[in-house]
Chain A
Amino acid sequence: MKTNVLFIISLIVLAASFDTINQLLLKNSINSLGSNINSIKKVIVFIGKLLLIPQVWIGFFFCCLSLGIWLFVLSKADLNFAFCADSMHYIFIALASRFILKEKVGLWRWVGTASIIVGIILLTISNR
């Protein structure tokens, strides 16, 4: 790889963060609607209501930003490296669940998160 691996990692951090923001906004919007869906008609009504929530569109905006950055990353880095490093979004989602959504995050989840971090560090060292 020609481009500095730390620069690429920073861009993946950015893409994964934007993706996490999108997930949080979407989760928040869906929670606010309730979940009594048992027919096709209700699915359509549900999607219709979802599209009226501004948060969903802000999320979509972040999703597009994330995709743009992702394509740029892929134009500079190997696919196997970028895809595996992108697993860091699991870490962000664990952190966001704990500190923003105030969900309970157990010990094993932190162990899993640590293992992902070790894996990304190894890939980064290997690809520098």
Chain B
Amino acid sequence: MSKKKVTLKILLFLIASDFLETFSQFFFKKTAIPASGLDVKNIPDALIFLNTVFFSPYLWIAFLLVFLTFVLWSTILSKIDLSVAVPIASFSYILVPLVSIIFLHEKVSALDWTGIIFILIGVIFVSISAHKDGAATQ
């Protein structure tokens, strides 16, 4: 069951969903930063942790972005196949480290980037082959 080709509109949607996903993760991280000093060793600790993150406005921004990503993905997947969408969407494996460097001042070493490239290739293989294998069994 092949759907239509990737149009410019769909490509823009995919890039938008990459950015939405990346920034939802960025806001999850912003949510977690104030809790970084907390040690969770028992149930009361866990409740303090949950209390800290639940009332962070960043968490709710992240939820909103996740919801928007979901809506955008539903639209994308109604137009093109998952096996075509995922490789383009896995651009976020590059985008998240870039955002981490620029906005969170994290360090990404050459070995990190090598690992990221392996993951990216793996994700692309997994999604493309899902398409081929599916076609082979039908």
A residues touching B (Cβ–Cβ < 8 Å)?
68, 70-76, 78-81, 83-84, 87, 90, 94, 104-109, 111-123, 125-127
For residue B111, which residue of chain A has the nearest CB? A126
B118 partner residues in chain A, CB cutoff 8 A: 115-116, 118-119, 122
Segment from B3-11, B12-20, B120-128 that makes contact with A = B120-128
Give CA–CA (A113, B123) in the complex, Å: 8
Tell whether, in the assembled complex, residue B126 and residue A72 are in contact, meaning their CB atoms are under 8 Å apart: no
Q: Complex formed: what's the CA distance from A104 to B59 in Å?
A: 38
Per-position binary interface string of chain B over residues 37-71, scored 1 when its CB falls under 8 Å from any chain A CB and 0 otherwise: 01010000000011001000001000000000000
Binding site for A on B (CB under 8 A): 25-26, 28-29, 31-33, 35-36, 38, 40, 49-50, 53, 59, 93, 96-97, 99-101, 104, 106-109, 111-112, 114-130, 132-133, 136-137
Q: Which residue of A lies closest to B40 (CB)?
A: A72
Shortest distance from the beta carbon of B113 to any chain A beta carbon, whole Å:
9
CB contacts (< 8 Å) of B117 on chain A: these are 119
| Total inter-chain residue pairs, C-beta < 8 Å | 138
Query: Contact at A119–B115, with CB atoms within 8 Å?
Result: yes
List of B residues within 8 angstroms of A104 by Cβ: 133, 137
Rounded to whole angstroms, the CA-CA distance of A122 and B111 in the bound complex is: 7
Cα A93 to Cα B119 in complex, Å, equals 15
- Give Cα A106–Cα B127 distance, bound, in whole angstroms: 11
Partner of A90, one of B32, B40, B59, B126: B126
- Chain A residues positioned under 8 Å from B137 (CB to CB): 104
Query: Taking CB as reference atom, which chain A residue is nearest B59?
Result: A71
Which residues of chain B have C-beta atoms less than 8 A from A117's C-beta? 122
A sample of 12 inter-chain contacts (CB < 8 A) reads A74-B29, A74-B32, A79-B106, A80-B112, A108-B132, A109-B129, A109-B130, A111-B129, A112-B122, A116-B126, A118-B118, A118-B122
